[in-house]
Structure 1
Amino acid sequence: MTRVRIGIDVGGTFTKAVAVDAHTLHLLGQALVPTTHHAPEGVAAGVVAVLRRLLERHAIVPEDVALVAHSTTQAVNALLEGDTATVGILGMGRGRDVLEAAKRTHIGDITLAPEHTLQTRHLFVETTHGLTRETARQAIQQLQAQGAEAIVASEAFSVEDPTHENLVLDVAAEMGVPAVAAHQMTGAYGLEVRTVTAAINAALLPKMLETARHVEQGLRQYGIHAPLMLMRGDGGLADLATMRQRPILTLFSGPAASLAGALLAGRVVFGVFLEIGGTSSNISLIRHGMPTMHYVKVMSHPTCVQALDVRVQGVAGGSMIRSGARGLVDVGPRSAHIAGLPYACFDPAVLDAAHLRLETCSPTPDDPDDYVVLADEQGRRWALTLTCAANALGWVPRGAYAEGHRDAALRAFHLLGAMWGMSAEEAAQAVLNQATARIAEAIRQMTREYKVPHDRLLLIGGGGGAGALVPPVAQALGITYTLPRHAEVISSLGDALAWVREVVEQPMRGHDNGHDLVREARAAAIRSGAAPHTVSVVVERDEQRGMLRAIATGQAALATPTHDLRMTPEEAQRLAAEACGMPPNRLELLATNDVFHVFRVPRHWWRAPRLAVVDVRGGVRFFSGKAHVVFGTPPHLLERMQHLLGASPAHFMPDVRLLIDGQLIDLTAVGEPTTSLLETIRTIVEPLDNKRVIAIVGG
């Protein structure tokens, strides 16, 4: 029996689905339908329709489906279009924090986009002497009377004690009111940011809950009882229960799915992923084998939600050409899809059409009448697009999804060139230059910002228009490019094959035990649908925000591929060397286990010696070269740790990181005395019997 993983990406124009063999990871089939923005069920109707088409076209029986995962632009679109619920904020505080808590939870209306705001209502309850269920019920009723459709419970210091927020959630559930607690968004301090994040999340709840219900009903209708998961904006999957609670995590899930798919094509140390859609293009960066992340901002409002740092450009494969009295005006932002027109290069009828001429149009009523279209005497019309320009110039690789009829494209650009006083090729080149320059500059700006070495950069293309724009952009940047197989459905592949991901944060406090944070993150990933034996956790410090962050990833339960993810020391050495910009033979392997490989990197030009840690998924992390690497069984490691820590001055405690069973546990922020730190380490490693453990101490 072939177990099948299904990935579905809800794009702005099309909803695409793929079926993948869960064991071999080979693509079994794909299907496509227009995205159903205006259906009564919303985009859920398209998800169900494309699922039905995929099952029927490729004879997949429901019992063989192991997992269904999808990404969606719904959360982003809801914010851009102001399609959000009115949120009632129940602020709470006690003792000396009452006045400050009342101020910090009264955030007012949130600007989402020009002419769109998220409306909030506010009610504050003092909880110095506790909170009763009846008080919570009355407060929710008062907020509902003011028009609130979803509730936020936000109390000062709830990250330490969420009792009152949880009580409000329980009462809201009894009343059938969608609700979210601020402490569910993050474990970080910062009442106002938590409240803003929770308010945006709550505003999405009613619409997202409705969509989830329709999709779940559609799956059950076809006899599919496999787990349904959604792509998060940080590139991981989460189950439906998590998304029902925190739909804000799906912001930018579409680009995240695409990047997840691109990373499956091969391990990349430094890369730019350029996804070319029909109307817009997304740019994201890979640095040291890992996607670059940032905290999402909604207009001027910071949130505590991490997602891929995605830069959007309003040019893509379907972008139409705008022409004026002096020639080229612009390319885009409207596309052939918005105008409802076919691409000229995709229709061989253009070659035989009689009396072809150029006209202009307004793709939407508010657009200028300067978008160029091709028309014939029969009233047929075609759009001149960037994809047409690339085909006319022969840029599109043979067999790429964007490959069209070059002669048809040249015939269209011959008319445009005549109008501009130039050849067809010159007209196509002018159009292509305008678009590629814009994308190339956005990539340069992003690589400068993240200090990514230009000479080691690889451009990875995805999306249906990748074959048209990625090659000329690569030439403009002077770098190499690659187009992964099935680039046109790369986002759906990313959905089908992504891993579950959960992030747990807490402020750095001297008494914290890093192992407890690891356990919490691991448990959260398992609750979100990860198979326990596949979960790994990395703990990192965010010095700027004073946060300790645990990131847990694991393969989806019931859909785990039979092959194990492995990396040889030789491949790890190559990746570490590439990240350092030196030959692999200069790196010395110090320690290795099933998940991590540790190398000593010698001095290189002005850079001091350092340690490079490569994980099984290709991520590369660097630590000080002054650190000691201890490798061995728990008894050996404890003996060496006692010596190293005992030799440190009483007022100075060295950094300690443990690499165990797929976990990178950072004990640096624990800040305990030597005896307590040793006891923490003993608690972590003693149950491991004779497994070989790696510790990085000092630096």
Structure 2
Amino acid sequence: MKRIGIDVGGTNTDAALLDGDRVLASVKTFTTADVTSGVRTALNDLLAQAGDAAQDTIAVMIGTTHFTNAVVERRNLGRAAAIRIALPASASLVPFCDWPRDLAAKVNGGVYLVEGGHEYDGRPLVPMNERAVAEAARKIAADGIPAVAISATFSPLTAECEERAAEIVRNEAPDVHVTMSSTLGRIGLLERENVALMNASLIGLARETTRAFVDAVRDSGIEAQLFITQNDGTVVKADAAREYPVFSFASGPTNSMRGAALLAGIEDAVVCDVGGTTADVGCLVNGFPREANNVVEVGGVRTLFRMPDLLSVALGGGTKVTRDPLSVGPESVGYRLGQEALVFGGEQVTATDIAVAAGLIDIGDKSRVAGLSADFVSRALAVMHDRIAEAVDRMKTDATEIPLLAAGGGAMLIPETMPGISKVVHVEHNGVANAVGAAMAQISGETDRIYRDMERDDAIAAARADAIAAAIEAGADKDSIKVIEVEDLPLSYLPGRAIRTRVRVVGDAAALKGTVSA
């Protein structure tokens, strides 16, 4: 089954064509300011290189930093209103209260607090005020706000209030897009609400970007389904990704981790992905990134949802290096590496120039770095090695020595020996490991709910069935689905025998060839 993976990073856009686990062709191009034209270039270059080998490609998987960059850089964001169903509780900390001021000023489209919600044991806090929800919906539409995020207390356990409120909003304001927090986050009202608001603010950009990706694939001449990669190393169809852009925030590093695992044939390891701007360090467990179980900040906003446990440091191929005194980063030339680095005819010393001068890589015009002293090169390399080793050590959870998989176009900057690392493995095609990971991504299904008056094994079986059904609905081949994660927690504070059970499954995309849509 042939698939194309494309990963858009801050500096490079990479593409790879795979047939099963075999890489047939790969290309690396510079990312463009508008992202989409870079995807077109990478896709067209890949197809030209692959020739007839690209025939019968059934799917294109794209990972992009477009959405997280929009939040971090405060651009291309839409206004979003917040309807919180929680009164008389939760009134002291209103929506947007913990957002950076500049970001809140761009996104805040109004705050509406409504009576309703549930207690932690599923009992109604107070009856929901449906009239107040309807009035809020009419006001949001009258103000021209394009999207709304609906949150309610303990909605991941009981989404009844959010679902009813969404129904009312769609009836009163059919042109307003609705995001329910229960579909995105976990327990923790503020963090879950923040994710929903962020998602709502990105809906316009997500629709525009997804349509551009669809057009790029269609214009390339291949008939294939389009998928977008997600934070957990899986993919969703383009039309689903259009509704939940926040699930793609960390897809770039995740793609690299998955690709490195597949290329190396190692499922439990530390992965260091050195790109053009940052080095991202994470841990693989059973071939998938270890998930973060604590709050993750995105653009200065506290969130708690499905995100990989990653540590990013400002070190990549485009990192600026200065002399007298020596400094390495944090600034980077980013996608301008091809114009500004010494070896490419520019005037800025970068980490790539240091690597070329040290003989770690052979690209560009080596004569342009001949004037860099050996002492300067060795000291700069030492700083880079120390920075990576410290990041790796911080991500390990115990003293056991495990392998480290080196990936990314800047993998040459990773030291060959580090404390706590049994060996450093430079995987084949490591420069495009992110594109390989995107191409090999599977479709997931997850359930996280409370089961009452059931034995533990029965609760897990029910959760497994729900997760499998979700994966099949998302486009997974039912014969390829496997369980990768099971968690269960008895809840002694709830009446009856209550068990909170979370099950995650993955499966290959069903081999359905056809034109892309969104």
Q: Deviations over 1:528-562 (max 9, x none)?
A: 221111112242136899952111111111179xx
| Cα distance between partner residues in 2 of 1:478 and 1:193 | 35
- The answer as to whether partners of 1:189 and 1:507 remain within 8 angstroms in 2 is no
Structure 2 SS opposite 1:412:
coil
Structure showing greater Rg: 1
Taking structure 1 as reference, are residues 44 and 336 closer, same or farther at Cα in structure 2, changes over 3 Å only?
A: closer
Q: Does 1:554 align with 2:507?
A: yes
- What corresponds to 1:608 in structure 2? none
Is contact 2:280–2:310 with CA below 8 Å preserved after alignment?
Answer: yes
Q: In 2, Cα distance between the equivalents of 1:124 and 1:139?
A: 9
- The residue aligned with 2:466 is 520
Question: How far, CA to CA, are the matches of 1:202 and 1:249 in structure 2?
Answer: 12
Closer, same or farther in 2 for the Cα pair 1:197/1:264, shift >3 Å? same
> CA 1:32–1:439 in 2, change beyond 3 Å: closer, same or farther?
closer
Q: Is the 8 A contact 1:18 1:27 kept in 2?
A: yes
Closer/same/farther in 2, CA of residues 488 and 62 from structure 1, 3 Å limit:
closer
Measured against aligned partners, the alpha-carbon deviations of 1:308-356 in whole angstroms (never above 9, x if no partner) come to 11111112223222123xx424444223744763544x46xxxxxxxxx
- Structure 1 residue 502 corresponds to structure 2 residue 502: no
Equivalent residue number for residue 437 of structure 1:
386
Matched, 1:461 2:406: yes
Residues 442/510 of structure 1: CA separation in 2 closer, same or farther (3 Å cut): farther
Q: Is the 8 A contact 2:319 2:328 kept in 1?
A: no
Q: 1:563-574 residue pairs with structure 2 within 5 A?
A: none
1:542/1:403 CA distance change after superposition, 3 Å: farther
Contact 1:392–1:409 under 8 Å retained in 2? no
| Cα-to-partner distance string for 1:391-426 (whole Å, 9 max, x where unaligned) | 3333x2xxxxx433796366221xxxxxxxxxx222
**Residue 73 (structure 2) pairs with residue 81 (structure 1):** yes
Residue 107 of structure 1 is matched in structure 2 by: 95
Aligned-residue Cα RMSD (Å) equals: 3.2
Q: Give 2:85's aligned residue.
A: 92
| Alignment CA distance shift 1:475-1:393 (3 Å) | farther
* Residues 120-519 of structure 1: pairs in structure 2 closer than 5 A: 120-126=109-115, 136=133, 138-146=135-143, 148-159=145-156, 161-170=158-167, 171-172=169-170, 175-186=174-185, 188-268=186-266, 270-287=268-285, 290-295=288-293, 297-298=296-297, 301-324=301-324, 327-335=325-333, 337-338=335-336, 341-344=339-342, 346=343, 381-394=346-359, 396=360, 402-404=361-363, 408=367, 411-413=370-372, 424-447=373-396, 450-453=397-400, 456-467=401-412, 469-470=413-414, 472=415, 474=417, 479-507=422-450, 511=454, 513-519=459-465
Residues 485, 124 of structure 1: CA spacing in aligned structure 2 closer, same or farther, 3 A cutoff?
same
Contact 1:391 1:406 in 2 (8 A): no
Higher RCO (Cα < 8 Å, 6 or more apart): 2
Q: Deviations over 1:354-407 (max 9, x none)?
A: xxxxxxxxxxxxxxxxxxxxxxxxxx644333233233333x2xxxxx433796
2:335 and 2:378 mapped to 1: Cα distance?
Answer: 22
Contact 1:122 1:143 survives alignment (8 Å): no
SS of 2:194's equivalent? helix
Deviation per CA, 1:181-235: give whole Å up to 9, x if none: 122124x544443322212222222211221122123333445442211111111
Aligned to 2:103: 116
**One-letter amino acid of the structure 1 residue matched with residue 309 of structure 2:** D
Distance in 2 of aligned mates of 1:298 and 1:145: 33
Give, in whole Å, the separation in 1 of the partners of 2:420 and 2:333.
25
511, 530, 553: which one pairs with 2:476? Answer: 530
Give the TM-score taking structure 1 as reference length: 0.63
- SS of the aligned residue for 1:111 comes to coil
- What is the aligned length? 487
1:683 corresponding residue in structure 2:
none
What's the TM-score, normalizing by structure 2? 0.83
Distance of 1:557 and 1:387 partners within structure 2: 41
CA distance in structure 1 between the aligned counterparts of 2:218 and 2:337, rounded to whole angstroms: 36
**Structure 1: tracts of 5 or more residues without a match:** 348-379, 397-401, 414-423, 561-699
What are the residue-to-residue correspondences of 1:2-21 with 2, within 5 Å?
3-21=1-19
Q: What do the CA deviations read for 1:77-126 (whole angstroms, capped 9, x no partner)?
A: 12211233222112235xxxx3015557x3234525x8433425211344
How big is the shift at 1:49? 3.5
SS in 2 for 1:58: helix
Task: Give 1:177 shift.
Answer: 1.9
Question: Cα distance 1:160–1:234, how it changes in 2: closer, same or farther (>3 A)?
Answer: closer
Q: Secondary structure at the match of 2:292?
A: strand
- What CA deviation, in whole Å up to 9, does each residue of 1:481-510 have, x standing for no partner? 111111111100000011112332124755
Identical-pair percentage: 24
Distance in 2, Cα, partners of 1:478 & 1:58:
37
- Contact 1:90 1:152 (C-alpha < 8 Å) held by counterparts: yes
